[in-house]
Each structure stands twice: as C-alpha cells, then as structure tokens.
C-alpha cells in the first residue's frame, strides 16, 4: 500500500476510465478476480467474444489496456489477435474463457 | 506427451465426462484457455454466476472437478464457496471473471 493510501489498481482504474472516455469501451470496477499472485488484473469481455483476463499490469498500463480493448472490440472472430497486442497484454495473459454462447456450439 | 499419445488433459476430459453422466453438469472440450504454464485447465460457467478457471489439475482430478461443479451449481450467490471446495480447486484457482449480467449491475 503506497504512502497516500491509494492502491495501484485504483490508480490504474482511474487512468483507464479517463482514457476510455468518449469511446465505446465501458470500464467497471469488478472486485476480486482471484488472481492476487500476479499483480494488477483486468478482465475484458465483449459480446460474441471469449472473456480474457490479464495480470502483471502496472499503474501506467492504461494506454496498453485501451489499445488491447479496441483491438478486441473490432476483431472479426471474437478473439483478441496476439501479434498486434501491446506487449503488456502478451506477457500478462492469464487466461481466456469461453462464454455460454460459445459452449452452445461445442459438441 | 505420454507413450500412448493420449494427452493427460484428454484423459481428464474423458473421466469428467463419464463422472458427469446422469448429472445436470455439461462437459465440453473448449480449446486453448491461454493458461499453458499452469498445467491442465478447466473453466466452469453457470447461469447467474461468475466464470472460473482452474489449473494445475491432474488426470485424476475428475472427482474433485465434479464436486466443485456441483458446489458451484447449487450456491445461492453465484460464487463457488471456498471453504467447502476440494483442495485441488483451492490451490488451482487461476481466476474468476464476471459475466455481462454482473457488469450491468456495477456502477
């Protein structure tokens, strides 16, 4: 906990919220994502896509998060392309999870 | 890769599918969950609940997975209770992610 009492994850939330203003990207504070061992965590969801979780993020990761979210939002297959992703979202990938919509299509 | 060419995750899938027969639990093979560094992985989803991802599972984890899934399916708040969970699903928790339904309710 830093001296001013504001956790790094809260600072990142504020920075991402600010960066997402005037975009179609919605930013929410979601509570515990069960990933404490791997630093600041962010989940990304989109209609028709799998859900992603990233960790090992920094207070300064807001621009990378927004860039990844925009990439995810505009992908044609519902996945976030790996190659074009900011480095922080390559090394910080924790998991991706299908949604019920996808499970319906699986045998 | 074992000598018989059947991956441990495939064996686990078969064992979980068999264990789930005659239950309301649906078992699907979902492809890459982005969690290769932490062993065999299983995602669990339920209507009205968050989504969970577990790793570090073994070929022999089918009973633990089924017990956790039943606990999750019957919880009243949509979360999988921690204390009653099989040990494999305590130490193997990778992440939990809210769904769109939950995000709607967040400020």
Find the mean pLDDT for residues B76-82: 92
Q: For B33, which of A28, A33, A96 is closest by C-beta distance? A: A96
Regarding beta strands B40-44 and A93-97, do their DSSP bridges make them parallel or antiparallel, or are they unpaired? unpaired
Angstrom distances, CA of residue A99 to CA of B18, B60, B85, B87, B98 = 23, 26, 23, 26, 11
ipTM above 0.95, yes or no: no
**pLDDT value for B1:** 62
Distance separating alpha carbons of residues B75 and A68, to the nearest angstrom: 34
Percentage of residues in chain B having pLDDT higher than 70: 97
Residues in B touching A94 (Cβ below 8 Å): 34-35, 94-95
Q: Which stretch of A21-25, A54-58, A96-100, B100-104 has the lowest confidence by average pLDDT?
A: B100-104
**pLDDT value for A15:** 96
Cβ–Cβ < 8 Å for B44, B85 = no
**When comparing pLDDT for A61 and A38, which is higher?**
A61
CB-based contact, A61 to chain B, within 8 Å = no
- pTM of the entire structure? 0.88
Query: Nearest-CA distance from B32 to chain A in Å?
Result: 8
Least Cα distance to B14 among B29, B24, B4, B1 occurs for: B29
Regarding beta strands B51-57 and B93-97, do their DSSP bridges make them parallel or antiparallel, or are they unpaired? antiparallel
Cβ–Cβ < 8 Å for B71, B81 = yes
């Amino acid at each position: 906990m830093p001296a001013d009492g504001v956790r790094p994850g809260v600072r990142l939330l504020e920075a991402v919220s600010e960066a997402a203003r005037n975009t179609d990207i919605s930013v929410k504070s979601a509570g515990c994502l069960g990933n404490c061992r791997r630093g600041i965590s962010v989940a990304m969801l989109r209609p028709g896509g799998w859900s992603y979780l990233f960790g090992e993020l920094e207070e300064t990761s807001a621009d990378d998060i927004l860039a990844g979210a925009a990439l995810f939002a505009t992908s044609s297959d519902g996945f976030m392309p790996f190659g074009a992703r900011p480095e922080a979202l390559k090394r910080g990938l924790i998991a991706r999870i299908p949604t019920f919509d996808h499970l319906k299509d699986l045998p």
